Amino acid sequence: MQLIDGKLTAQAVKQEIAEEVKKLRAAGRKQPHLAAVLVGNDGGSETYVAAKIKACEEVGFASSLVRFDASVSEQELLAAVERLNKDADVDGFIVQLPLPKHISEEKVTEAIDPAKDVDGFHPQNLGRMITGGDAFVSATPQGIMELLKRYKIETSGKHVVVIGRSNIVGRPMSILLSLKGYPGDATVTVCHSRTANLKELCLQADIIVAALGIPEFLKADMVKEGAVVIDVGTTRVAAPDTKRGWRLKGDVEFSTVAPKCSYITPVPGGVGPMTIVSLLLNTLKAASK
Ligand code: GUN
């Protein structure tokens, strides 16, 4: 069993991005600039946005954080999106999800200029990804594709089972893996809460992407010997013995599944660090246009 080290890979990619930034700067170009919009005080969102801003600093990007109280109106938020769309200094921006219930995530996402949509959530980017065109691909699926590439994991003709059909991970993941070319050309089965024979399907999988958000859902008896397992889960579970009071749990029961795998991503330190790096790559791409 080989561990897929997302932390180490992310560090390597960050170094490559920092080199690119140096080249841009040497050519007289401005610093790439990522902005993040954060609404309310959700603990998870605060942590993710802080990590994104820190990553910007590490690679030499400019960053800015636009904060709103949870009571912000949809109109005010849409006006902020419009300001960022027009701000020539901002190359790309994200609106951290989830948003409060009184705000339509769909409306806000669709208000973002697709050329600045470094999250790749806009329907134009999703559409272009499906047709294999030039698009911003959402960060987590892109990060997983990068890990598959860097670990030279064969995907052609392989049976991939994706568990979860979210717009952010499961669905784009299933499309990317079925596109022509490496790391695609796979036969993909998308499973979800209504799938009747999940265990049987998982047992047929050469590669499993677990992205359903239920801690330790995937057990050893659902995985065939030699499979590749990618764990996208990041659920905070109570852990009174830790300083923070919680720890991250993946969707895979790591201790029992890992010995059966050819490759597996740990949580933390697997897919998570690659997600942030993908956002940086998208911002660099936006700045280079
Ligand atoms: N919430 C959870 N993941 C993400 C992400 O990748 N981008 C944004 N904007 N919100 C999220």
Contact 96, 49 (CB under 8 A): yes
Dist CA 173 CA 153 (whole Å): 15
Residue 181: partners with Cβ closer than 8 Å, 6 or more residues away? none
Task: Write down the pLDDT at residue 289.
Answer: 83
- Pick the catalytic residue from 96, 206, 249, 251: 96
96 labelled catalytic: yes
Q: Does any ligand 1 atom lie closer than 6 A to the CB of residue 96?
A: yes
52 is catalytic: yes
Among 52, 116, 158, 249, the one annotated catalytic: 52
Q: Which atom of ligand 1 is nearest to the CA of 140?
A: 6
- The SS3 of residue 264 is strand
Predicted pLDDT of residue 201: 98
- Residues pairing with 237 in the sheet: 247
Specify the 3-state DSSP secondary structure of 10: helix
The angle formed by the CA atoms of residues 118, 122 and 126, to the nearest 5 degrees, is 95
Among residues 147, 97, 137, 140, the alpha carbon closest in space to that of 285 is found at: 137
Question: pTM score, two decimals?
Answer: 0.94
Nearest-angstrom CA–CA distance, 215 and 232: 10
| Residues with Cβ within 8 Å of residue 28, at least 6 apart in sequence | none
User: Which pLDDT tens digit goes with each residue over 153-206?
Assistant: 999 999 999 999 999 999 999 999 999 999 999 999 999 999 999 999 999 999
Structure tokens given for 202: 């998982």
Q: Concatenated DSSP letters for 188-240?
A: EEEE-TT-S-HHHHHHT-SEEEE-S--TT-B-GGGS-TT-EEEE---EEEE-T
The secondary structure of residue 85, as a DSSP letter, is H
Interval between CA 105 and ligand 1 midpoint (Å) = 11
Identify the structural domains of the chain with CATH numbers, from first to last.
29-113 (3.40.50.10860), 139-272 (3.40.50.720)
Confidence at residue 36, expressed as pLDDT on a 0 to 100 scale: 98
Tell me the pLDDT of the chain (289 aa) as tens digits. Answer: 999 999 999 999 999 999 999 999 999 999 999 999 999 999 889 989 999 999 999 999 999 999 999 999 999 999 999 999 999 999 999 999 999 999 999 999 999 999 999 999 999 999 999 998 999 999 999 999 999 999 999 999 999 999 999 999 999 999 999 999 999 999 999 999 999 999 999 999 999 999 999 999 999 999 999 999 999 999 999 999 999 999 999 999 999 999 999 999 999 999 999 999 999 999 999 999 8
